[in-house]
Amino acid sequence: MIAKLFLHYIDSEKCVIKENVTIFAIRDKINAKGGFAVRVEPIRDKAVINRIAEALKNDQTEAGKRRYLLYLSGLYLGRRISDLLLLKVGDVYGKDKFVIREKKTGKQIELFITKNLKRAYKERLAGRAPDEYVFASDRPDRITKQQKPIDRRTAYRDIQEIKKIGNFPADYNLGTHTLRKTFGYHYYQGTHDIAGLMKLFNHAKEETTLIYIGIASDETKQTFRKIDSMYDT
């Protein structure tokens, strides 16, 4: 029961777990925000985004190819990792748009594939069967023996490899929500269309969206930077 509550809390808070936390700390602090978890960040710098993309594109290992498509899919589609992992080749290969049913909400949403993402799918998915998972695990399901997608843990490890490539500070937290947040952050910075972003994210409140994509945090930092000019001490 505790484990279920913990996983629900982590998912709702879009957080990553610190490595030195024990199950006892989790049990004791299940309702304490910040006690054992930290909010993950978007990638704010476009130059860093491009540098990571180039490095991943040049990595021709199977893991590198997977990370490249996962990275671009997150940046261009802005979906939760749980929805990205369920994508099949036939959903996206050669397509301009497709429809998914969100795993978390059960809502259907139509997504459009940009020319850059379409090009990447064409390059990396050519020759693969339509019913294959885009992010297929190299291990079949233990019960059905059929192909399955990678799990969230593997996706999280992929994000940590992306963090290394981006040369982020150790305390700059990236997690499985990072790519979705990055999509939202740059969409908002480029358009200031908060209503459109709320619709894409299925958020009911503007405040929720601004906090989620890191804009509220940026504004708070800017506010405190102005304080030095208030005093002569």
Catalytic positions: 80, 104, 177, 180, 203, 212
Contact 25, 84 (CB under 8 A): no
Nearest-angstrom CA–CA distance, 167 and 161: 10
Helices of type H across 104-191 = 115-125, 152-166, 178-191
Helices of type H across the chain = 2-13, 23-28, 46-58, 62-77, 81-84, 89-92, 115-125, 152-166, 178-191, 194-201, 206-212, 215-225
| Both structure tokens of 221 | 């930092």
Residues with Cβ within 8 Å of residue 85, at least 6 apart in sequence:
133, 135, 149, 150, 151, 152, 155
Contact 176, 155 (CB under 8 A): yes
Q: Residue 114 to residues 111, 129, 191: CA-CA distances in angstroms?
A: 10, 22, 17
Amino acid at 183: F
Only one residue has tokens 């709702």, namely: 12
